[in-house]
Amino acid sequence: MAVVVYMAAVFHRGSLGVASLEAADRFGVGPTALGTFTVLQLLVYASMQVPTGLLVDRFGPRRILTAAALLMGTGQVLFAVASSYPVGLVARAVLGFGDAMTFISLLRLTSAHFSARQYSLVVSFTAALGGLGNLAATVPLTLLLHNAGWTTTFLVTGLVTGVYAIVASRLKDTPHGPAPRTEAMKIRDVVRGVRETWRIPGTRLGFWVHFATMQLPAVLALLWGFPYLVNAHGLSEAVASSVLGVMVIVTIVSGPLIGAVIGRWPQMRMFLVAGYLLVAVGIWAVLLLGPLPPVLLGVVFAVLSLGLPLSAIGFSIGRDYNPLSRVGTASGVVNVGGFLATTLAALGIGLLLDITGSFKYAMVVSVVLTTLGTWRTAVWWRRTRAHVFAAQARGEQVPVRIRPRRWDSAALSVS
């Protein structure tokens, strides 16, 4: 039941991707204003991650997921009937609030219902099933928009999501019933808890892993992939939707495989991240060269899509290096990373499109952010490893035992 709420969240989040051209016509806006829809939604999402973690710890994931379904349904219904740009912005903000409350609640449910060994696999399966929502937001949504129209399409999807809140209210926080509720916290205590969570090297590593791996595929799926394929590579709308569909299918299939690998060999998870980031930067450089045939674009987008399931590694790292009482907060901090990067990319691409009118220059924003994320991931990977080696030397139990490598001797001190 909880996964269905997440599938709805992923669908609504990506629904503007194939509807971006229709949205520009409906609201009479250019690239920057169009990008603001996604930027606002992602800003709301990112800013709500830590508060959502605290809300989940305070009230339990069942109540928060129920509220999330109601908010997403309300936001999409409002978006369906919006005829002015300001009302459309309000609708996407409401949708963003509901979306923001979904995944952290799911992570808390997973922590309560499954062991640490099962956690990575279950999270990956959850992300893969959520990908079905993303798949529905490609070719099926394109066909529905063309046949039923804007208002009917978003009205129906919004009403179905809102009604599903009744089903979500029947979830169990833990196998034995309601989750134990934490006491209400003062703002000063909240800030202290977030600061203590952020000081843990594993939390920062999880943040930068999520920042680096999620941004490229997310910015393509959420907003700019569709117009980029149509305008920069000359694809028809149907073929562009199919390329995005391939991206989603690869995400769905690869998620459980990646989860199984890192669940069995957790010491390999950062090597998978490093390999992906090196390949992604190189592939993106090829994309900037000029128009490519649809088949090659499908292959390129398929490879880039691996960043979405790999971004779940950030959550498993955050979970490993934080006490259970702060898993919600740590997951929220990690989740901020990817959505902050995606927000910056969506906004930067829109601004450069307005200035230059060329995707070739605008998409450089995404490359720069991936490079930044790769650098910071490398820094905190080394620092986290140094932290683990120090704990092993003291005879302490560590989540994942690792062996030293030559480059560990040059690990930087934490600053």
pLDDT of 163 above 80: yes
Residue 187 lies in a domain: no
Domain residue limits at 317 = 2-181+193-399
* Average of per-residue pLDDT values in the chain: 83
Residue 373 to residues 37, 194, 316, 351: CA-CA distances in angstroms? 24, 21, 18, 21
Confidence (pLDDT) at 365 = 92
Residue 409 lies in a domain: no
Q: Which long-range contacts (CB under 8 A, 24 or more apart) does 289-297 make?
A: 290/360, 291/232, 291/233, 291/234, 292/233, 294/233, 294/235, 294/239, 294/242, 294/243, 297/229, 297/233, 297/235, 297/243
pLDDT of 121 above 90: no
Task: Output the CA torsion sign for 194, 195, 198, 200.
Answer: negative
Residue 301 lies in a domain: yes
Q: What is the mean pLDDT of residues 314-321?
A: 85
Output b/e per residue, 268-295; b: 16+ Cβ within 10 A.
ebbebbbebbeebeeebeebeeeebebe
Question: Could you give the percent of the chain with pLDDT greater than 70?
Answer: 90
Most confident range, picked from 106-110, 126-130, 176-180? 106-110
Residue 413 lies in a domain: no
pLDDT of 406 above 80: no
pLDDT of 410 above 60: no
Confidence band of 176 (pLDDT split at 50, 70, 90): low
Least confident of 97-101, 303-307, 399-403: 399-403
Do residues 231 and 366 touch, judged by C-beta distance below 8 A? no
Q: What is the mean pLDDT of residues 85-92?
A: 93
Confidence (pLDDT) at 38 = 78
Least confident of 33-42, 214-223, 237-246: 33-42
DSSP 28: T
DSSP secondary structure string for all residues of 45-104: HHHTHHHHHHHHHHH-HHHHHHHHHHHHHHHHHHHHH--SHHHHHHHHHHHHHHHHTTHH
Q: What is the mean pLDDT of residues 237-260?
A: 85
**The model's pTM:** 0.76
Do residues 1 and 168 touch, judged by C-beta distance below 8 A? yes
In terms of phi and psi (left: phi > 0; alpha: psi -120 to 50; beta: otherwise), the region of 28 is left
Residue 23 lies in a domain: yes
pLDDT of 304 above 80: yes
Question: Which has more pLDDT, 259 or 92?
Answer: 92
Least confident of 43-57, 251-265, 389-403: 389-403
Confidence band of 172 (pLDDT split at 50, 70, 90): confident
**Beta bridge partner(s), residue 174:** 177
**Can you tell me the distance from the alpha carbon of 98 to that of 11, in angstroms, rounded to the nearest whole number?**
12
DSSP 396: -
Residue 393 lies in a domain: yes
Residue 410 lies in a domain: no
pLDDT, tens digit (0-9, with 9 covering 90-100), for 347-400: 899 889 888 888 888 888 998 999 999 999 999 988 888 877 777 777 666 676
Residue 280: closest CA among 308, 252, 313, 317: 308
Confidence (pLDDT) at 412 = 40
CATH number of the domain at 368, please.
1.20.1250.20
Q: What is the mean pLDDT of residues 175-199?
A: 72
Q: E-strand spans in 323-407?
A: none
pLDDT of 307 above 90: yes
**Can you tell me the distance from the alpha carbon of 224 to that of 363, in angstroms, rounded to the nearest whole number?**
9
**Can you tell me the distance from the alpha carbon of 391 to that of 398, in angstroms, rounded to the nearest whole number?**
7
Residue 250 to residues 2, 77, 269, 354, 392: CA-CA distances in angstroms? 23, 30, 19, 32, 38
Total number of domains in the chain: 1
pLDDT of 211 above 90: yes
Residue 293 lies in a domain: yes
The position carrying tokens 């090829």 is 286
Task: Output the CA torsion sign for 95, 249, 361, 282.
Answer: positive
Confidence (pLDDT) at 91 = 93
